Chain A
C-alpha cells in the first residue's frame, strides 16, 4: 500500500512531531515585551525566537539589563502584573500559554525571583501557606514533612529548625534566598525558573544549591539565570545568551560557551577570561 518513500516521510514526520512534543519545553516565537510606564515605554524583549529543550538544564546568561529576568517572567506570565504589552507566541509543552489560566500556569511553572522576598509570616508558613492554598495539602504531617524536605534541599534546615515559627522577615538575605528556593521546591512544580538563585549566597551555600539543582533536575525542568560563567560551565547543558533584549546565541553548553559563533558572545565571555579570579564579581 505504501511505498518506501511514503514510509520514510511518515517516519520523518512522526519524528518531527514527537520531537515537538518531547524535546521542547517552551517554544518561543517572535516574542516582544514592552514595559509601559507613565511617560515612557521600555522595549525589553525584541523578537525573541528560541526553544527551551525539555530535560536539559538551561542557563540564561547576559549582561545586566539585557532582558533575562523579563524573559523568565514572561514564561509564567508574571510580567503581566507590570503593565507589560506582549506580542508573539509561547508554547509550553505544545500549549499556548496565553490561552491557559495564568494561575494554573504559574503553579506548574514556578519562579524564584532575583530579589528574594519572605512572605510576612513565619518561616514554616512561608512554605506551608502556598502548599495549603495552592496544592490544597491538608494533612498536617504531610505538610511538616514537605517543609522539612524542602528546607533540607535548600540547605536551610539546620539554621532554622529551632525557630520555624519565628517571622521569616528576620532572616538574612541569603537565608531568605534559600527560603524562596525551598518554597518553590515544596510546590513540586513541573518547571522551576530560578533568577540568579545564588546571587546572595556564600560559596558553600552556592555549591549546596548547585548540587540541589543537579538533584532536582531528575524530576523538574529547570531554567536559570546566572551572572557567573563559572556556574554556567558547572551546570549548564543548554545555554541562551541575551544581549539588549535579543537572543544572540543558543545551543548546547559546550558549543556556546567554548566555541561561541558570534563576536558579541566572544566579547562577553572574554571579560571573564581576563580575570578569572574576579569573574563572579565583575558583572
Chain B
C-alpha cells in the first residue's frame, strides 16, 4: 500500500517538475529571442535606434530606429489613459457606492462583458462609426478604441478593491458624519496602493493591446518624423509599436523585421517597468 502511494507521489512530482520546467523554458526562450534580436539595432547603431525612424530603403545597410513609433505609442496610450483612468475610476466609485441601484447593476454586467469580449470588436465598432464617416484613420480613433479596454477594467477593479476594505472603515466615516464624497476619499486613501497598482496594470494592458488598432490605425512600416508630431492625435501618421510589429513581420526586408524585434523589446520593457511599479506598491500591504 505505502509503496503504491509513494510511487504515485513520485510520478506526480516528476510530472509537475517537468511541466513547470517546460513553461519556464518557453518563457525564457520567448524573452531571450526578444532580447537577442531586439538588441541588434541598438548594438549596431547605438541609442539612435530609439530615436531615428525606420530606414526602409533596401540599398542602405542602416537600420534606422523606432523613434516615431515610441512617440506614437506614448501619444495614443497617453490620450487614452488621461481620459480612461479618471473615467474608469469614477465609474468604479459609482459601482461601489450604489451597488444595489438598477443602473449600477446593469452597468456592472455590461462592463464585465466588455472586459471579456474580444478587443478586436471594439476596433470594428470604431472603424464603422468614425473611420468610415471621416474617411481618415486618425490616431484619435485608436485612442478611443483603447478606452473600451481600460475603462471597464479599471472600473471593475476599483469597485472590487474598495469592496475588500473592512466595512467598518466606511461605517466609521459615515458615523462621524463625513459626506459620501469625503468617505470615498478616505476609502480610496486606505486602498491607494492597490488602486494605483491596478491602474499601472491597466496601462500595461492597453500598451500591448493590438486587436482594435490593427483595424483603426494606419498599418505601415513606412513612417518618418514630420510635421504630424505637432498634432499627432488628429493626423493619420502615428503608428503604435504594436501595429508596427505586425507590419514589420510582413515585410520582405530583413532589417525591418529586426526593427520589429526592437519594437517588441521596447514594449516589453515598458510593460515590465509598469509591473515593477505595481509590484513595489502592493508588496507592502497595509492591514487596517
Chain A residues close to B by CB (< 8 Å): 73, 76, 78, 81-83, 103-104, 106-108, 110-113, 115-121, 130, 133-134, 169, 180, 183-184, 187, 193
Question: Is B186 an interface residue, CB under 8 A from the partner?
Answer: yes
B288/A120 in contact, CB under 8 A: yes
A82 CB contacts on chain B under 8 angstroms:
167
B179/A169 in contact, CB under 8 A: no
A111/B175 in contact, CB under 8 A: yes
**How far in angstroms is the closest Cβ of chain A from B164?**
14
A81/B170 in contact, CB under 8 A: yes
A183 CB contacts on chain B under 8 angstroms:
176
Closest to B173 in A: A119
**Residue from B168, B177, B190, B287 with most neighbouring chain A CB atoms (10 Å):** B177
B288 CB contacts on chain A under 8 angstroms:
117-118, 120, 169
Q: How far is the CA of A110 from the CA of B177 in the complex (A)?
A: 7
Q: How far is the CA of A211 from the CA of B287 in the complex (A)?
A: 32
Secondary structure dominating the interface of B: helix
A76/B178 in contact, CB under 8 A: no
Q: How far is the CA of A269 from the CA of B179 in the complex (A)?
A: 41
B residues contacting the other copy or chain, number (CB 8 A):
23
Q: Which 6 A-B pairs have the closest CB atoms?
A: A107-B177, A120-B190, A111-B175, A106-B177, A78-B175, A117-B172
How many residue pairs bridge A and B at CB < 8 Å?
72
**How far in angstroms is the closest Cβ of chain A from B215?**
41
Question: Is B166 an interface residue, CB under 8 A from the partner?
Answer: yes
Closest to A115 in B: B168
B100 CB contacts on chain A under 8 angstroms:
83
A184/B176 in contact, CB under 8 A: yes
**How far in angstroms is the closest Cβ of chain A from B193?**
10
**Residue from A81, A118, A121, A183 with most neighbouring chain B CB atoms (10 Å):** A81
28 of the cross-chain contacts (CB-CB < 8 Å) are A73-B171, A73-B175, A78-B175, A81-B171, A81-B174, A103-B177, A103-B178, A106-B176, A110-B176, A111-B175, A112-B175, A113-B168, A113-B171, A113-B175, A116-B172, A117-B166, A117-B172, A118-B288, A119-B190, A120-B186, A120-B286, A130-B176, A130-B178, A133-B178, A133-B179, A134-B178, A180-B172, A184-B176
B172/A106 in contact, CB under 8 A: no
A169 with B172, Cβ < 8 A, contacts A121-B189, A130-B177 known = no
Q: How far is the CA of A180 from the CA of B171 in the complex (A)?
A: 12
